[in-house]
Chain A
Amino acid sequence: MRRFAIVTGFGLLMVIGGAVPGLAQEAELDSWFERAKGAEFSGRQFVVCETPDGERSEFVTLSQMDGVLVVDAGSGQSVISRGELYDLAADGTVLASTFDGHSPWSLDSRYEVSDGATVTVLGRQADVVNVLEGELVRLELAFDQTTGAVLRSVSFNGDGSVYCTSSFLSFSEDAVMGAMPVAQTTAAIVPLEAQGVLPDTLAGFGRRDTFVGPAGSVAGFYSDGIFSFTVLATDRAINIAGLAQSTAVSFGDDTYQRVFLAGRTLYSWTTRDGGFVLLGDQPLDLQEAVLAELPEPGRANLIKRFWRRLFG
């Protein structure tokens, strides 16, 4: 397993040199995130997104310590730690979900990381880090110098307009943590090795995990290092229960049902072979780019389908 260094001639230097800058970018952003992950704080965060259907916003109270993040959005509390999620309902019931997948974080090679200025957020000194795609800033992060926490993040659409901003309205270096919740119900999300069902990459996002989704669907978790989404695929149409209102949106000839939330967008549609759902935090143009690479909405002609199934 362990290898030992063997020094060889200089010829190899020319061949292998190229891969290093990308890795350095990735390692740099990772070290910022690693520090943020270990930060201890509590505060109230405001998330606001500009969408074609209007503004979507939400207040969230956050508290983080020892790698455990407690999120309170008013209607209930969630406790999140690596691969575990506890949802505490108002009536006191606790649902735990566990996930033992394998999804090492990595940053897509289209991104570059650049350190920006020092700014003041909530009277605190913060270092700005920009994640760029060519000339375009895709994500701007402000890391608190004292704790390492992300005090502010702004994501941008492909045309340079702001998509979502999340920023702290109040921030304290003390975390307010209760005891870890005890779950009445635990739902395990089961990883799959189902190859070929969902594409390995979609618009520059890599499939990092594949697992059994709700109602037996195949679920793929995709990420490019800064944005992420899930695709659910089934062999039947999907009705989303409890979804208040969705609007129809068309890209070219293709029509989808869409709902914007603060920080997430959901699409659902039915293809000739089954139902699909997309839920993600990527900016508007990247939503469209991902949809363009998935099976398009449409209802197959039944007679055609019959012949195809019978005679290939």
Chain B
Amino acid sequence: MSHSGELLSAYLDGELTKAEELNVVGHLETCTRCQTELGDSHEARAMVRALPILDMPTWVTSGVASSPVELPVRRRPLAWAAAAAAAAFVLVVGFATFVATPPAIEITFTEISNTLRLPASQDGLPPGARAVVIARSSDGIAE
């Protein structure tokens, strides 16, 4: 049977599924190597947990209190619902307005491109594979 390895810390922390836990417990009964590894992991955990918890200096919060709140520009999440309600209102007010098609909105390719590159960059992706999309800075067609 293979050793429990990385499951041992999760076992210690109560982070295994029941099935995994049963496997680990069964294996530990006979495997001295894993027993030692579990003991080591337990000791390391105990040492980190034994570190004193310090109080945060009080000047930290006074600095926060005096910092300005800059509200980020935020659009309403359900712009569609609002737009639909507005459209319905306009239609009731007059027939002429419903014939008119709202003008198209203009978006640059770079703006579109960033909506893909940025979320992808959260993974800190390597070049190639998933990063093909983010490893494009040129936006070459936006002449």
Across the interface, name the chain A residue whose C-beta is closest to B138: A73
Q: Which residues of B contact A (CB under 8 A)?
A: 11-23, 25, 72-75, 77-80, 83-84, 87-88, 91-92, 98-99, 101-143
Across the interface, name the chain A residue whose C-beta is closest to B111: A214
| Interface hit among A109-117, A146-154, A175-183 | A146-154
Q: Which residues of A contact B (CB under 8 A)?
A: 2-8, 10, 12-13, 15-17, 19-20, 33, 36-37, 39, 45, 47, 58, 60, 62, 64, 67, 69, 71-78, 80-85, 87, 97-99, 101, 103, 105, 139, 141, 149-153, 155, 164, 166-167, 187-190, 192-194, 197, 208-209, 211-219, 221, 223, 225-230, 232-245, 259, 261-264, 266, 274-275, 277, 279-281, 302, 305-306, 309-310
Q: Which of B11, B112, B121 contacts A232 (CB 8 A)?
A: B112
Give bound CA distance, A209 to B123, whole Å: 13
Check A208 against B119 for contact (C-beta < 8 Å). Answer: yes
Check B128 against A76 for contact (C-beta < 8 Å). Answer: no
User: How far in angstroms is the closest Cβ of chain A from B73?
Assistant: 8
Q: Which of B13, B84, B109, B130 contacts A242 (CB 8 A)?
A: B109
15 contacts between A and B (CB under 8 A): A17-B19, A33-B123, A33-B126, A82-B123, A99-B118, A99-B119, A141-B129, A237-B101, A239-B105, A239-B107, A240-B108, A242-B142, A244-B142, A263-B136, A280-B133
Give bound CA distance, A64 to B131, whole Å: 13
The number of inter-chain residue pairs (CB within 8 angstroms) is: 292
Q: Which of B19, B21, B116, B134 contacts A5 (CB 8 A)?
A: B21
Give bound CA distance, A226 to B131, whole Å: 9
Check A261 against B136 for contact (C-beta < 8 Å). Answer: yes
Known contacts A12-B22, A190-B72, A242-B142; A82 and B129 CB within 8 A of each other? no
User: How far in angstroms is the closest Cβ of chain A from B19?
Assistant: 4
Write out the residue numbers on chain B whose beta carbons fall within 8 Å of the beta carbon of A64.
126-127
Check A215 against B142 for contact (C-beta < 8 Å). Answer: no
